[in-house]
Structure 1
Amino acid sequence: SQTSVQVALLAAALPAGSTVLVPEHEFSSLVLPFVHAGRGIRVRTAPLSRLADAITSSTTLVAFSLVQSACGHVADVDAICTAAAAVGARTVCDATQAVGWMPVDAGRFDALLCHAYKWLCCPRGVAFMSVSADYARTLAPVQAGWYAGDDPWTSCYGGDADLAACARRFDVSPAWQAFVGAEPALRTFAQADIAAVHAHATGLASRLRRALELEQPDIPTAIVTWVDPGGDDLARLQAAGITASGRNGRARVAFHVFNDETDVDRAVAALRG
């Protein structure tokens, strides 16, 4: 039901003395399970733009968000995965802020996490993790409950049940009502033209950046942020009835399938008014 639960499973499987590399200002659910894993596991940080360069022979695992929550920057997947492969480091990618508006290939990583209540528009409590077959063999099902059994309805009691041979051995029991609500949302995005969604969302974001004279990122993103330490711009947006947020001293606006150019124009008018 949460990405932190999934990350904790990965952290528990790390060998003692491992070194984990994460970006600076990374979302805490991806970092804290490693920080508090014990067993001499060390967590290093580096700027996202230089994360690939910070991977060394001592790096055991690299964990990063494909799209940063606070600023919307998109990670250079090619550089990070290439550098990690060169030293045999595992890659763990949190795609919570990416899946739903940009194409994502889970097969690029040893593990990919995604909480679906963001860009996939599902109820909160629906999260997914994919792991490579090679990585899965190194993981212990430390959170195994009745739902992880090969036949859940015969593994409700006692400790002699066989666990599922598939990835469900790592599952916790789902939040039933949330998954009922998630099914139509997931079906909608599975059937969508994700390249068209990406072009639409990033196009609106670029329009706002041009209007506000903000720098365009090297990799297009649907999230626009700018320095707003006092929250004044955020207050202007909210006063105009625009849903926006403040993250790490920055104002933050995000565009998706339900937005259009009138939303951009409203935001510009609110900020300039």
Structure 2
Amino acid sequence: MHHERTRYLGGRGYLAACTLGLPADVTREAVRRDLDAWAAGRATAADYSAGLERARGHAATLLGAQPQQIATGSQVSVFTGLVAASAPRGSEVLVVDGDFSSMVAPFLAHGGLHVRHVPLEALADEVRPETAFVSYSLVQSATGAIADAAAVAAAARDAGALALVDTTQATGWMPTDDLDADVVVCHAYKWLGAPRGAAFAAFSERAIAEVTPFTAGWYSGADPWTSCYGPSLHLADDATRFDVSPAWNAWAGAEAALGLAASLDMDAVREHDLALANSFRAGLGLEASDSAIVSWADPTGCDLASLTTAGVTASGRAGRARVAFHVWNDTEDVALALEALQPHAAFAI
């Protein structure tokens, strides 16, 4: 991963991929080219759309899907909201207690659903015959804990439940191309290092049929250029019916970022990231884990403050300190973070 590290300008001490990713050289260049073309009056809607289609292909690679199964958008919660809005009143929705709100709030806002919150480790076992939807993050934002996606998928299938999984905290550092779910949604601004405003989702045939495209607009037609005006409803037959008009400038950078990620060996990226994360855990006296996110109790914020003072970019979530290790990091970052924390005596998961 040494070559990958050299692509990033601000990687030293940056342990915050789980909050905001860094742009690689190719992404920075793509954003500059887009700005220059826009400023010079050379930017065109047709060129932006062509770039979006290339990005759709990269997203398909990352999620193990076909391009026609990929919808492009701007936020995870909007995709979740489409699923929630399509849920029949009275449906039971199973969610993870303490999950990121984008996977929970749309179902609560529906007002007519029975939303049941269960611990992450019990998610598969809690799927019941009456469960209609299962919504969860593959990697938990607050703790970095990883769900047993295979077990959840099997349980959902047995119950006939529609499974929705968010890979925003996973895609980019670990393989996410073998998930058995009806909707797999991801925002690209974290581990993928894309500009914020570029999200995508893979829809199964069942989801395409059962989810109503309430956000349908001119970009939801099979050919957006012929579906710009009413009075007819123009909907593509595939997952692009869930497309919204793209944030062009964001997708100019996202195309490059997703292309780079799709070219990497995600098993090798995971091995690199986990080696650093587990070296850091060992330095704190914590057990090894299978997550690139390391989180520990920090109720007063003292540990986060110590990291920040030492020049380490970290984050705090739900009364916990949180760091993440990615391709721009190396063992020097581990040492830097551990040195900042050594004066503090006790750490507990």
TM-score computed with the length of structure 1 as normaliser: 0.96
Alignment check: 8 A CA contact 1:106 1:130 kept = no
Kindly provide the amino acid, as one letter, of the partner of residue 78 in structure 2.
V
Matched with 1:236 is 306
Please state how far the C-alpha of 1:106 moved relative to its aligned partner: 5.2
Residues 69-148 of structure 1 correspond to what in structure 2 (within 5 A)? 69-105=141-177, 107-148=179-220
Alignment check: 8 A CA contact 2:150 2:179 kept = no
Alignment check: 8 A CA contact 1:154 1:161 kept = no
Specify every segment of 5 or more residues in structure 2 that has no aligned partner in the other structure, as ranges: 1-73, 344-349
Q: In the alignment, does 2:269 pair up with 1:197?
A: yes
Please state how far the C-alpha of 1:161 moved relative to its aligned partner: 4.5
Of 220-229 and 76-85, more deviation after overlay is shown by: 76-85
Specify every segment of 5 or more residues in structure 1 that has no aligned partner in the other structure, as ranges: none
Counterpart-to-counterpart distance in 1, 2:288 and 2:106: 33
Aligned counterpart in structure 1 of residue 87 of structure 2, from 8, 14, 28: 14
Q: In the alignment, does 2:97 pair up with 1:36?
A: no
Q: 1:8-60: per-residue Cα shift (whole Å, max 9, x none)?
A: 1111111121010011100001111000113x211101110111111111211
TM-score computed with the length of structure 2 as normaliser: 0.76
Counterpart-to-counterpart distance in 2, 1:106 and 1:181: 26
Q: 1:119-163: per-residue Cα shift (whole Å, max 9, x none)?
A: 110000000011101221112111101111232222222221432
Matched with 1:63 is 135
Counterpart-to-counterpart distance in 2, 1:98 and 1:116: 10
Counterpart-to-counterpart distance in 2, 1:175 and 1:105: 25
Kindly provide the amino acid, as one letter, of the partner of residue 163 in structure 2.
T
Of 249-258 and 72-81, more deviation after overlay is shown by: 72-81
Q: In structure 2, the residue corresponding to 1:141 is in which secondary structure?
A: coil
Segments of 4+ moved more than 4 angstroms: none
Counterpart-to-counterpart distance in 2, 1:49 and 1:166: 34
Please state how far the C-alpha of 1:216 moved relative to its aligned partner: 2.4
Structure 1 residues 168 and 95, CA gap change in structure 2 (3 angstroms): same
Aligned counterpart in structure 2 of residue 53 of structure 1, from 118, 121, 125: 125
Kindly indicate whether structure 1 or structure 2 has the higher relative contact order, using CA contacts under 8 Å at least 6 residues apart.
Answer: 2
Counterpart-to-counterpart distance in 1, 2:156 and 2:218: 36
Aligned length, in residue pairs: 270
Q: In the alignment, does 2:329 pair up with 1:259?
A: yes
Matched with 1:24 is 97
Residues 219-234 of structure 1 correspond to what in structure 2 (within 5 A)? 220-234=290-304
Q: In structure 1, the residue corresponding to 2:84 is in which secondary structure?
A: helix
Kindly provide the amino acid, as one letter, of the partner of residue 136 in structure 2.
F
Kindly provide the amino acid, as one letter, of the partner of residue 235 in structure 2.
L
Aligned counterpart in structure 2 of residue 213 of structure 1, from 262, 278, 285: 285
Alignment check: 8 A CA contact 1:106 1:112 kept = no
Kindly provide the amino acid, as one letter, of the partner of residue 6 in structure 1.
F
Alignment check: 8 A CA contact 1:74 1:221 kept = yes
Over the aligned positions, Cα root-mean-square deviation in angstroms equals 1.1
Alignment check: 8 A CA contact 1:90 1:110 kept = yes
Q: In the alignment, does 2:73 pair up with 1:3?
A: no
Q: In structure 1, the residue corresponding to 2:104 is in which secondary structure?
A: helix
Q: In structure 1, the residue corresponding to 2:192 is in which secondary structure?
A: coil
Q: 1:191-235: per-residue Cα shift (whole Å, max 9, x none)?
A: 001110000001100000000001223xx1100010000000000
